[in-house]
Structures are given as structure tokens and as C-alpha cells.
A and B are shown apart, each in its own frame.
Chain A
Amino acid sequence: METQQSIFISSLKEPETKEKAFKRLVQEYKERLYWHIRKLVLDHDDANDVVQNTFIKIHLNIHKFKGESSLYTWMYRIATNESINFINSKSAKMGLQNQEWIEAKAEGLKADSYFDGDEATLTLHKLIAKLPEKQRIVFNMKYFDGITYESMSEILNTSVGALKASYHHAVTKIKSKLND
């Protein structure tokens, strides 16, 4: 018997129903994917570019989705990869390392009109920006969004054990910096 998800995926693949189903998909996931991306790229305009590219990629590649993971994790994987590619491309254009670029973005948050966090939140973002890429992604997904290690494992194609270790290292580094 077909599940609700497989029926929905079929409607995303059928030319006659694709547009209507895609509209529903955008309505359902636009905010979740945007916030996931925003925490990775930090800037609203950048997040706007990446979330649009993410949905365009989803639209173009939905016929390749085999249903081996849930649609949600497949889309999160695309959003994460798009964010990483975006950071790689932007930092390369400016002749910076990825981490240098992110740290500069975090430094600029105080003056960002679309950031209204308090001093503690600002400090936290600056410390997150100093983490290695993988730890930064894992920390954001776990700390802010409460995504389970199992879902994260599917999204990032990494074992649960490695993700737990990444999160543990990230938390230890942030705590130690906060105590300095």
C-alpha cells in the first residue's frame, strides 16, 4: 500500500500534477529550509539566494529522488550542500578561507538590520563561526533545531557516532571559549 509520502512524491514527478504539488512543497518547507540555511550562511540576502537555488534544484531533480530517505532529509541535504557550495564560492572570490569568510559574517551581525539577538546570542554566533565546518553544521542543527542524530545521519551521510563526537567537540570548544 502506498504511503502518503509516496503518493505525494508521485504527484511531484507527474507532469500533470507537478506544479500543484511543488507549490504545496514550497508552502510546507520554505521556512524550515530557509532557517536551516540562514544559520549556516548568517546573512539574509545570502540565505535568500541559497533557499531559492535549493528549491530550483529540488524542482529540477525531483525525478531523481528514489525514496531511499524521506523527502524532508533529501531536501535538507540539498539545502546543506547548496549552503556549503555558496560559502566556498563566495570565500574563493574574496580570496579567503571558508572559515575566515564566516567569521567576518559573524562579526558583521551586530550591524545587521535582520539580526536582533542579544549580546549573549551574538557571542554564541561568533564562537560557532570559529568551529570547523562539520562541527558548525552539526552544532546548528542539534542546538538550534533539535534535529535527531538519526535524521542528521541521513542528511549529512555521516554515522551517528561521528555526529555525536562532532557535537561534543563543538560544545566543549564553545564552553571553553565562554569561560575564557
Chain B
Amino acid sequence: MTDFNTKNPFKIPENYFKELEENLIENIQPTQKEHGFNVPKYYFNSLEETILRKSKKTSPFSRRKLIVSFTTLAAALALLFTIPSSQNSETQIEEQAFNDYLESYYLEDMNGYEILSMLEDNEIDPYFDNSTKNYK
């Protein structure tokens, strides 16, 4: 029996299958009317990257972690600022009330000498030194 050449004798145009695929895809798209809109060049490539990057940041796990972190940070900041400031403001109010009381009721009828006599020696010296420096 004669041996036949088993090599495929048929040929196709160059890039035929690539073009076939493109043509088929084009033809099975639903009939779309011209809408006139366009997008920046390479937009869809960058869009994909942006979405994937954002989705990683906003995954439920990282969101939960983020919420916990924010809550912890907010609580720490609240403690840091509110407690000392409330203590400060309380101290300030107390001092102000005491000063008001002294000025209004206690020191009102005293002269300079009487007030000075109420102070301890170590409290007087610095004031005295400062006040006399200018006269040297």
C-alpha cells in the first residue's frame, strides 16, 4: 500500500485565527449605538489597578482592623486631652475663686504692710531682690 504524506496540505492566511477570534467577539456583542463618550488612553488598565488596590485596603478584615485601631486611638487621645485639661481647668477655677475671695473679702481692708507681713520670708526675698535690682 502506498504511503501517503500525512502532512496537512491546507494553508490559512497569516494571523487568521487571531483575526477570527476578534471578528467573532465583535460580532457577538449586542448591537450598541454610538453614544459619543470616550475615556483617557489606558484608562481601563489603570482603573483595574486602582480598584484592586482600593479593594485590598477596604477588605472586611482590614476595615475591622482599621475601625479597632481608630477606636483605640480616639480613646487614647480623648484620655490624653480630656483628663489633664479637666484637671487643669478645675485647678484654674479653684485658684480663680480663691483669688477672687482674697481680693473681695480678705485683703480689701488690709494695707500693703499687713499683706506683706502675712507672707513667709522665703516668699518675700525674690520679690524684694527683683524690685531692688533696678535701683542698683
Seen from chain A, the residues whose Cβ lies within 8 Å of a Cβ on chain B are 19, 22-23, 26-27, 30-31, 34-35, 38-39, 42, 44, 48, 51-52, 55-56, 59-60, 109, 114-118, 121-122, 125, 143-147
Contact = CB atoms under 8 A, between A and B. Distances in A.
- Name A's interface SS: helix
A117 B51 contact: no
Contacts of A125: 35-36
Contacts of B39: 34, 44, 114
Given A31-B44, A34-B44, A117-B36, A56 B30 contact: no
Contact of A52 (B32, B35, B37, B50): B50
A23 B56 CA distance: 11
B59 A59 contact: yes
Interface string B42-53: 011001101110
B35 A117 contact: yes
B37 A145 contact: no
Which 10 pairs across A and B sit closest by C-beta, in order of nearness?
A: A117-B36, A146-B30, A121-B36, A59-B55, A55-B51, A146-B31, A144-B33, A144-B35, A26-B51, A114-B38
Contacts of B47: 30, 34, 48, 51-52
Nearest to B30: A146
